[in-house]
Structure 1
Amino acid sequence: MLFQLEKVIFKKIINIDRMEISSHKTTCLIGESGAGKSTLLKLLNKMNIPDEGKVYYNETPLQEIDPVKLRREVVMISQTPLLFGETVEENLQKGLMFSEKPPASREELMKTLEIVKLDKPLDGLAERLSGGERQRLSLGRVLLMKPTVYLLDEPTSALDEETEIEVMKSFIKCTKGHDGTVIMVTHSMNVAEQYGEETISLSK
């Protein structure tokens, strides 16, 4: 089992007696606003520390794992995508720098932009991208890292339905190519139904 949560309490947001999340699958976290979906993602890569209980990653308690090492394997994209650097290329390369991997070639970068359906020049200014384009740029950045786990918080919320399905189909196919695990918060029942091999519903 990839993640296990046992008797986890965090503030008044999360109260989970037991939860398991499998590896090599796409798990969708669904539920109403305020149910703790984003909070749960942050518990999985140690951005939040539970007030009570334990979170295990590959059977090791997270408290015993160095947070930087963990976040190189368990990479998170927040709901509001952040920019790292001025150009599209700098943003794509930044994840590789963080994970201490060699930079990607121009060919790899162009291929990644194709996967996330972002038709922009590598030397284009990232700050000029729309919200949906920034989401796709963030997806491209983490794809290049090839982490063990992708934690995605509403990764396609700024996309129209057709683009959302197209991008996620291509993205998930790519993650499966290197045995990645996707754990995704989504309000889109389309995405959850089409790509969620497991669905976890959270409630207040």
Structure 2
Amino acid sequence: MFVLKNVKYKDILNIEELHIPARKITVITGKSGTGKTTLLKMLNKLISPDSGEIFFKGTPLTEIDSVELRRKVVMLPQFPVVFPGNVKENLLMGLKFSGKKIPHDEELRKILKFVMLEKDLNDDPEKFSGGEKQRLALARVLLMDPEVLLLDEPTSSLDEKTGIEIIKKVSNFAKSRGKTLVMVTHNPELRKFADVLIELKNGRVL
């Protein structure tokens, strides 16, 4: 799905070669400051390498329109954005960006239940806890049904039990639909969900 060759970014990343396979769950681990989030951002062109090349399905990212790429490769940041408006409006934001059909309210309620978020569609997300905002943003990304899900520390605001249950659900979702899931985490418990485990140290792949 992704291939990186001789990718360098400031003094943060120095990757000679890295393959991230399609339709697999790839977990990226390493201590803080090792370049995990930087790598994830590069995969959907939020940032570009200073040198080297990144390929998506054989095509250099430099040749792919950024908006088109981000409709297929969707990233959930560690501190997700909550948009003005209620829960329903937040859920639909990603679908509007990707130009996809707007679902019925019942489907929106199902995705909230899936991410274990017991909220009404009319509730105000600004009043939610960090963990609730994180799950709302995850629901928004899952609704977009992209080819690739990039998750940056998706359980950082959740207690361990809830976090593991959520990742179990998301992993099953990805596998059942043939998605590519790339997840950054510092939680060793989440390694067990990996088909491929990548460990970074000082910006290099171990």
TM-score tier after normalising by the smaller chain length: over 0.9
Is there any run of 5+ residues in structure 2 with no aligned partner, and where?
Answer: none
Letter matched to residue 29 of structure 1: I
Letter matched to residue 51 of structure 1: D
Matched residue SS, 1:179: coil
Matched residue SS, 1:120: coil
2:145 corresponds in structure 1 to: 146
Matched residue SS, 2:52: strand
Greater relative CO (CA pairs within 8 A, separation 6+): 2
Greater shift in the superposed pair: 60-69 or 42-51:
42-51
1:199 corresponds in structure 2 to: 197
Runs (4+) of structure 1 exceeding 4 A deviation are none
Mapping of 1:22-171 within 5 angstroms?
22-171=21-170
Tell me, in whole angstroms, the C-alpha distance in 2 between the residues paired with 1:78 and 1:35: 17
Tell me, in whole angstroms, the C-alpha distance in 1 between the residues paired with 2:116 and 2:36: 26
Tell me, in whole angstroms, the C-alpha distance in 2 between the residues paired with 1:25 and 1:78: 20
Displacement, 1:175?
2.3
Displacement, 1:85?
2.9
Displacement, 1:171?
1.7
Q: CA deviation digits over 1:144-184, x for unaligned, max 9?
A: 01000001100110111100011111122122232111101
Tell me, in whole angstroms, the C-alpha distance in 2 between the residues paired with 1:77 and 1:66: 20
Number of equivalent positions: 202
Identical counterparts, % of pairs: 48
Letter matched to residue 45 of structure 1: N
CA contact (8 A) 1:143 1:175 kept: no
When the two structures are superposed, what TM-score results if normalisation uses the length of structure 2? 0.96
Matched residue SS, 1:202: strand
Tell me, in whole angstroms, the C-alpha distance in 1 between the residues paired with 2:172 and 2:116: 14
Letter matched to residue 117 of structure 1: M
Matched residue SS, 2:11: coil
Displacement, 1:191?
1.1
Letter matched to residue 60 of structure 2: P
Letter matched to residue 186 of structure 1: T
Displacement, 1:53?
0.4
When the two structures are superposed, what TM-score results if normalisation uses the length of structure 1? 0.97
Matched residue SS, 1:169: helix
Letter matched to residue 109 of structure 2: M
CA contact (8 A) 1:146 1:175 kept: no
Tell me, in whole angstroms, the C-alpha distance in 2 between the residues paired with 1:182 and 1:82: 20
